[in-house]
């Protein structure tokens, strides 16, 4: 009996993970660094990492709206302009995109590989 409960829980967990994976792929464009560079100046560039990470180095022109504060700071993000998201590796960007999509944002883009793969100009806090 306990084995069936564990197997059922495992199946549900896997199903939920697959649902989130495919849902994220549907609502979020994962773009290469080159594509990101071509479009981010005309978009809202948002770094969803925490302030300490942001201060340690961020893409020039990015605004820091940490994932942990996103719901409270939605008024800072326009729905009529593309949103370019990045974090350290991509996981937080995907979660941020899910939140934004639920709130009516549609043109959502994420830097492939995150900030750790970025080779362009960065700014650090002095």
User: Catalytic residue positions?
Assistant: 87
Count other Cβ atoms within 10 Å, centred on residue 95. Answer: 17
d(CA 35, CA 76): 24
Both tokens assigned to 7: 């197997």
Contacts of 30 (CB under 8 A, 6+ apart): 90, 109, 110, 112
What 3-state class would DSSP assign to 85? strand
């Amino acid at each position: 009996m306990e084995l069936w409960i564990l197997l059922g829980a495992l199946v549900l967990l896997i199903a939920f993970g697959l649902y989130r994976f495919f849902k994220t792929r549907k609502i979020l464009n994962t773009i290469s660094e080159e594509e990101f560079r071509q479009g981010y100046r005309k978009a809202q560039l948002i770094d969803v990492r925490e302030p300490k990470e942001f201060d340690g180095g961020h893409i020039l022109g990015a605004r820091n709206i940490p994932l942990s504060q996103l719901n409270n700071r939605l008024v800072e993000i326009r729905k009529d302009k593309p949103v370019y998201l990045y974090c350290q590796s991509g996981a937080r960007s995907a979660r941020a995109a899910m939140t934004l999509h639920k709130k009516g944002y549609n043109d959502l883009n994420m830097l492939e590989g995150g900030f750790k793969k970025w080779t362009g100009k960065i700014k650090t806090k002095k």
